[in-house]
Amino acid sequence: MLNTILGYGQLTYAMHIGEGFLPQTWAFFWTLVFTPFLIWSIVELNRQFREDASTKLVFALMAAFAFTLSALKIPSIIGSSSHPTGMGLGAILLGPLPMVAIGTIVLILQALLIAHGGITTLGANAFSMAVVGPFVAFGIYKIMRKMNINTKVSVFAAAMIGSLSTYFVTSIQLGSAFANGNFLYATTKFLGVFMFTQLPISIAEGLLTVVVYNLLSQDNRFPRLAGGQR
């Protein structure tokens, strides 16, 4: 799909970015950018596990939620694919840092088990989905709650915008790698293709996230949700 958009004619799937598709320099660059966040995430997870044992249950549930949603590839235009990310809910419940590790685990499993994404492109995919998405979702949620906006509305907006931000960053990553001297043109083309299908998918993800959040808030195994703590 990527080359077709830019006029070369080869079809491939984009999100997650496929194995070997990024030039080696860009694959290495995004791995370097992503790695400090992964280390930071592991440190934060260890801290949370020590302080609250129930975090392990939430961690496992959020990993399963993210794996299931992000594995749902929906055909887009010109041979591309879109999918929900499942990162927003975990960012709200655990904070954005633990989601870096969760997102990385999800991406590795998908690359190895269902050939969705790749190992060489793990850094790029993880940065967009496991770093940018959760941090954006968490930031949106916290800002809206500080403005006393309804919890459900805040959860919806956080999940939806977090999902969209992942594809925005992916468009920048692909636009940078395949700019051919015109970064803005390439990025805009990628963004246009992704947003065509990703906008309704992100809206649906936002609605689903609200439903799941409400269910979990009624379960006494998740005391951290009482009163919409996060």
Query: pLDDT tier at 111 (50, 70, 90 boundaries)?
Result: confident
**pLDDT tens digits along 190-220:** 888 777 778 888 999 999 999 999 888 876 6
Whether pTM exceeds 0.95: no
Q: Name the percent of the chain in helix, strand, coil, to the closest 5.
A: 75, 0, 25
Q: Which residue has the higher pLDDT, 156 or 223?
A: 156
CA distance to 39, 40, 87, 223, per residue, from 47 (Å): 13, 11, 20, 18
CA distance to 15, 52, 54, 58, 127, per residue, from 104 (Å): 15, 22, 21, 16, 9
**pLDDT tens digits along 158-190:** 999 999 999 899 889 988 888 888 898 888 888
Cβ proximity of 87 and 166 under 8 Å: yes
Omega before 83 within 30 of 0, i.e. cis: no
Q: Quote the pLDDT of residue 217.
A: 82
Domains and CATH numbers, the chain: 2-225 (1.10.1760.20)
Query: pLDDT tier at 115 (50, 70, 90 boundaries)?
Result: confident
Query: pLDDT tier at 75 (50, 70, 90 boundaries)?
Result: low
Q: Decide if pLDDT at 224 tops 80.
A: no
